[in-house]
Amino acid sequence: MAIGPSPSAGPNLRTISLWAPDNPLGVRHQLLNEEQKARIAKIASVVRFKKGDQIYLRGDAAEAAFNLISGVVATFLNSDHVTAFLYNGDVFGLSEEGRYTNSAKATTSVTAYKIPIHALRRLLSADPDLDVHIISKLCEELRQAQRHAFILAQQHAVARVAMFLELQEHLQAARGEPNSEIFLLMDRSAIAEFVGLSFAAVSRAFRTLVTQKVILLRDRRHVRVADRPALERLADEQSVGNAPRHQPRRPTIAT
């Protein structure tokens, strides 16, 4: 049952290094050593949520942060705009001025470590190494958010869905899961909320991709990429025609 390399149980925080310039492709490092894991585990409790449960609401006093063990969590800014999907190892529930800035909801059934915020705070000041790791993780989430914005900035529905699929595939690979097929853990409506389209538009985009033989749907949740160049072409297809009028469209002076 165990998927991917999980050398030891307990809190889990993996990310891409800030510095190391020599890493095949986006494989993540475990950021916590055994001692740190133990220390966090001591102050954390394991909690469980059913599919659809609200974990916390934006604006609530932030009593705890979470470290996801299994399942998928979606975070929202309001009730129908997904800001991120979170997977094993992800951290959520960081606050601003002591209040949650997102709502979080279980997309599937979920288990997670719950870490009281005051304990986390003590832990951070006690262990200087820990927060460098947290910085890496935050940088990664920041880039994720920017990628999300990038998807949303795409003009065409197919482009958004294509980018979404690439993103999922990439995340799956980064988690070390078998990557011959993309497994979508969320339903069409969650995807729609994430990519900022209606329901129907997502469905149509999938169908378009299928009829153009870019992807194969084994079932509604298992996607196989049949024509990667085409997928990339669709995903990269440039968005809005803010025609650079004066600049004679130099092809981005690559060094």
Partner DNA sequence: CGAAGTTTTGATCAAATTCAAGAGTAGTGG
Partner DNA sequence: CCACTACTCTTGAATTTGATCAAAACTTCG
Residues in the site for DNA, rule: CB under 7 A?
Answer: 155-158, 187-189, 196-204, 206-207, 217, 219-220, 240-243, 245-246
What does each C-alpha distance from 236 to 28, 112, 160 come to in angstroms?
A: 25, 36, 10
Rounded to a whole number of angstroms, the distance between the first and last alpha carbons of the chain is 46
Q: Which is nearer to DNA, 40 or 158 (CB)?
A: 158
Residue 19 partner contact from DNA, a second copy, none using kind-dependent CB cut-offs of 5 to 8 Å: a second copy
- Contact map string, positions 90 to 109, toward a second copy, x by CB under 8 A: ----xxxxxx-xx-------
Q: Which does 180 bind (CB under 5 to 8 A by kind): a second copy, DNA, none?
A: none
Which residue from 233, 172, 194 is spatially nearest to 75, judged by alpha carbons?
Answer: 194
> CB-wise, 94 or 185, nearer to a second copy?
94
For DNA, which is the closer residue by CB, 25 or 243?
A: 243
Distance CA 92, CA 242 (A): 36
Burial of 212 (0-12, 13-18, 19+ CB in 10 A): middle
Residue 231 tokens, joined: 């997928």
Using CB under 8 A as the binding rule, whether residue 232 contacts a second copy is answered as no
Helix axis angle, 157-174 to 228-236, nearest 10° = 120
The candidate with the shortest Cα–Cα distance to 164, out of 131, 200, 191, is 191
Which parts of this chain interact with a second copy (CB under 8 A)? 16-23, 54, 57, 59-61, 77-81, 83-84, 94-99, 101-102, 117, 121, 124-125, 128, 131-132, 134-135, 138-143, 145-150, 152-153, 189, 192-193, 196-199, 238-242, 244, 252-255
